[in-house]
Amino acid sequence: MIQSEILDAQSTRPLEGGPSYSLSNRVKRVVWIAAWKVLASWTPPPMRKYRVWLTRLFGGDIAWDANIYASAKIWLPCNLKMESRSCLGPRSNCYCMGNVTLREGAIVSQDASLCAASHDVDDQHFQLTVAPIEIGRGAWVAAEAFIGPGVIVEAGAVVGARACLFKDADANGIYVGNPAREIRKRRTGTDGMNA
């Protein structure tokens, strides 16, 4: 689990620029970032299986028919799970310091952010904290939306463009604003997926 790789705040002094993660974690991320930049960031959309293969090579639990756009950013693939037909859109930012799961058919649109970490504002050392994110079956995180740590977007929910979601989203709910609030339910059925 990634929490075990977070270093003790008293010894690393994060407020003074010290690292929050172990050396091995940081090396893995440097190698991953370089590999994606050189081997995948330039690839055209039809090469999605190649990008899935590369992400799986670095520990991602990615379905073969998932879609990761070349311009998407993934912090550390071994913390990412993508089920069948899920999608990380163009320029999306999957800041998966903690586990991030995209269920079947979940869509994360362009420029959206999934942020599975924060800092403990009540801790004198401002210690890093991580919490998993789950985007449910058939849910849609629209353009430039932000999903905070520990949030579950249930099946069929919609997080509207530029919305900021810090609490769980109920199934089939449509959420807008900052902080996001539910404005109504979708009319597509109980799970957001077509039968």
Q: pLDDT value at position 25? A: 87
- Residue 156's region, left for phi above 0, alpha for psi from -120 to 50, else beta, is left
Task: Write the CB contacts of 166 (distance below 8 Å, at least 6 apart in sequence).
Answer: 148, 151, 179, 180
pLDDT along the chain (195 residues), means of 10: 58 68 88 97 97 98 98 97 98 96 98 94 86 98 98 98 98 97 85 51
Angle between helix 23-39 and helix 48-57 axes, rounded to 10 deg: 160
Residue 151 phi/psi, 5-degree rounding, is -90, 140
Angle at 129 between CA 126 and CA 130, to 5 degrees: 160
User: What's the CA gap between 111 and 121, in Å, rounded?
Assistant: 27
For residue 160, how many C-alpha atoms fall within 13 Å in the half-sphere facing its CB? 15
Q: pLDDT value at position 1? A: 42
